[in-house]
Structure 1
Amino acid sequence: MTHDASDDGTSKHEQTARTGRKRDHTRDADILDATLEVLAEVGYAGMTMDLVAARAKAGKATVYRRWPSKAELVVDAIARMKRSQVDLENLPDTGTLRGDLLGLYKPQSIEEGERRLRIMAGLAAMISTDHTFADAANAAVVEPWADAHLVFMRRAVDRGEIPATADIETLSQVIPSMAAYRALVQRKPFEREFLLALVDGVVLPALLNTPIGDAPAT
């Protein structure tokens, strides 16, 4: 007599289905959007995977299979939000570095600005409770913007607008890092006036006044 069940009582058919089933990622966008909504409403402490699943109208098993923890879910949701704002394939190209840096800025309504601050507050709370996600949060919040600014600065070097000796690797991170600090620590919106102060008072002077002898090592 043959046995079709394993020691734990699972049938061979069930085992095959379990191991052979491909993950369905078609609901990922809905789940990540729901994550941001719940995070903005109840904060990181009040957020649960079950709340997200209910908001996304997805099965709890679907959420847990894709994201083992809510911290990982939040990081992916923030990354999706940033990717929707920074399209490296379609960046502004105004002909000047200043124009490009300002052209990337998108004004937000008061409601959207407040929502974004609540989301960032949730992210800050997550990092404060689990520092292992700091690098992932940096990749989601700072790096997409820094990558865009680096593209702008390379263009400016090619045009002869700024010296080739400028440390664009470092200076491309200034505005994104300050934006993250303003949102995560100061809990303030990133407004155009603040961006202008950084562009005209910090970044452009630093790029244009790079001493020839201080060229970054290659």
Structure 2
Amino acid sequence: MTQTDAPVKLGRRRDHSRDPEILAAALDVLAEEGYEGMTIDMVASRARAGKATLYRRWPSKAELVIDAVACMKRDHLTQSPLPDTGTLRGDLIAMIKPHAVEDAERKAQIMAGLASVLSRSPELSGVIEQAIVEPRAEVNRTLLRRSIARGEARADCDVETIALISPSMAAYRTLILRKPIDREFLVSLIDGVILPAAGIVGGDG
């Protein structure tokens, strides 16, 4: 066999089966330590994976974080259908489930962990907007448009602005006030801000 006929030696194929576990571990560490305090070593230890495995897949911490945050958007798309109670207040209240509250709290903690680098990383800011803010805003838009269609909310209410109230206030509460996101806070936001902004007085009790 000539040198040119020698078989090509292929490198070992990368195993991506553990990516979800590694990305989840990255989000956990990010929420706990913040971006500056987070290290690849910490993520590897949390995921029980080798550091070399992480570095082959994500050459830098920034790339790992971007992928981890982006995966939150994909997770959101698999959630169950939206509630349809017949009123905007009923729909919004029905969205306040224990898992949903925990998820909102975790997302806010992740945003807090990234606060130190957002101004330096436009790409990361865009990923956060699409993965954390936009999914909730889109849910709110859907519920608001449904309310308008049935003649409950004002036809001229500012859907885009109102849809951003809850994700914006949740971020403010966590980042600035350092307070948890709980059911009492979310209900007060619905009754005191969102419903009046949509032109709905009194809700459905």
Residues 150-186 of structure 1: per-residue CA shift (max 9 Å, x gap): 1111221222211333221231111111112222333
The answer to whether the Cα contact below 8 Å between 2:72 and 2:132 also exists between their aligned partners in 1 is no
User: Size of the alignment, in residue pairs?
Assistant: 197
1:69 aligns with 2:69: no
- Which of 9, 13, 16 is residue 13 of structure 1 equivalent to? 9
Q: Which residue of 1 aligns with 2:127?
A: 136
5+ long unaligned stretches in structure 2: 201-205
5+ long unaligned stretches in structure 1: 6-10, 210-218
The AA in structure 1 aligned to 2:198 is: L
Q: Which has the higher contact order (CA 8 A, sep 6+)?
A: 2
TM-score (norm 1): 0.72
The AA in structure 2 aligned to 1:169 is: E
Distance in 1, matches of 2:147 and 2:103, equals 32
1:2 aligns with 2:22: no
Which one has the largest radius of gyration?
1
The answer to whether the Cα contact below 8 Å between 1:121 and 1:187 also exists between their aligned partners in 2 is no
Residues 81-120 of structure 1: per-residue CA shift (max 9 Å, x gap): 5765675542222221111112212347xx9998766544
C-alpha distance 136-149 of structure 1, shift in aligned 2 (>3 A): same
The answer to whether the Cα contact below 8 Å between 1:163 and 1:207 also exists between their aligned partners in 2 is yes
Q: Which residue of 2 aligns with 1:154?
A: 145
1:163 aligns with 2:154: yes
Q: Which residue of 1 aligns with 2:203?
A: none
Q: Which residue of 1 aligns with 2:92?
A: 101
Aligned-residue CA RMSD (Å): 3.3
C-alpha distance 67-184 of structure 1, shift in aligned 2 (>3 A): farther
Residues 40-96 of structure 1: per-residue CA shift (max 9 Å, x gap): 443322211232123212233432344343234334434545765675542222221
TM-score (norm 2): 0.76
